[in-house]
Amino acid sequence: MTEKPRVAFFDFTGCEGDQLQVVNLEERLFDLLEVVEVVSFREAMSEHSDDYDIAFVEGSVATAHDEERLAGIRENADMVVALGSCAAFGGINAIRNDQDFETVKERVYGDDADMIEANSEARPIESVVEVDATIPGCPIDREEFVQVVTGLLRGVEPTLPNHPVCVECKLDENECAFNRGEICLGPITRGGCGADCVGEGTHCWGCRGMVDTPSEDAHAEVLETHGLTAEEIVEEYQLYWGWQRPQRATQEEAQ
């Protein structure tokens, strides 16, 4: 019998909500356990092993210790998967990146701010090590997690949807969040979530990151129609895109 691939989960700077989504697979988790062996998963088991084939990493890189630990994980693993928005592109942690770091520390930790040893920026794990696959979202979509794992086990390179959330809103016949007076990032956010937030009566917050090839002209047209400008929604962008947006801007300037 072929030995099952050994899987480990690791958490860095984040809320661990993505790992909870894996636990919340409930009975489907047992199906996965038929084809993989979980050797380290702090959210679900006390055992731990440094002998693993696939490492799922949640959370952003925020300290020098994170960088060192992540390098060790990469060295041990045949594959590294970024799990969730923070690991994939910095996520909410990167909201601090354009603020004065000392001020941020004092705001959060008060008199204990000097005790905090951290990098001035929160970064995705791909800024430190090579990443083989990414599962974005805050939290991740459980079905997408199963699809990615299944693909990896079959030797198929996982691919992410490269259409905006707006496509899924139209398919679900959702009322456009802009028409409800909301500011929505759906026109330039990666789909694959089923437009759940808009369907539930709110707007897209951008938790799956920017689509690779956004239709910027179409987004500008939507904003203009509703009397908005790109500058007016920068604060919304910064909720998840504190790392990704400046990187994208730098790339565009270099072209």
Asked which of 29-33, 97-101, 204-208 is least confident by mean pLDDT, the reply is 29-33
Q: Kindly state the average pLDDT of the residues 129-144.
A: 96
DSSP annotation string for 60-101: BB-SHHHHHHHHHHHHH-SEEEEESHHHHH-GGGGGGTTS-H
The DSSP element (H or E) to which 39 belongs, if any, is: strand 37-40
In the predicted model, what is the mean pLDDT of residues 129-141? 96
Report pLDDT digits (tens) over 164-218.
999 999 999 999 999 988 888 998 899 999 999 999 999 999 999 999 877 667 7
pLDDT over 90 (residue 26)? no
Quick one: pLDDT band at residue 1, thresholds 50, 70, 90? very low
Is 185 a member of any domain? yes
Percent of the chain beyond pLDDT 70? 96
Calculate the average pLDDT of the chain: 91
Q: Is residue 159 part of a domain?
A: no
User: What is the helix (H) or strand (E) element at residue 252, kind and residue range?
Assistant: helix 244-254
The answer to whether the CB of 244 falls within 8 A of the CB of 193 is: no
Residue 75: CATH number of its domain:
3.40.50.700
Q: How many structural domains are present in the chain?
A: 2
120's tokens: 């001035």
Residues 6+ apart with CB under 8 A from 142: 21, 22, 24, 25, 28
* pLDDT computed for residue 226 by the predictor: 84
Question: Of the candidates 96, 123, 153, which is a domain's last residue?
Answer: 153
Write the pLDDT tens digit of every residue in 72-81.
999 999 999 9
Asked if 242 and 94 touch (Cβ cutoff 8 Å), the reply is: yes
The residue among 118, 153, 188 that closes a domain is 153
What pLDDT is recorded for position 181?
Answer: 87
- Report d(CA 206, CA 189) in Å as an integer: 5
Residue type, 78: D
Decide: 114 and 86 in contact? Cβ < 8 Å.
no
Give the chain's end-to-end CA distance (angstroms, integer).
51
Same domain, 35 and 117: yes
Whether 160 is covered by a domain: the verdict is no
pLDDT of residue 190: 95
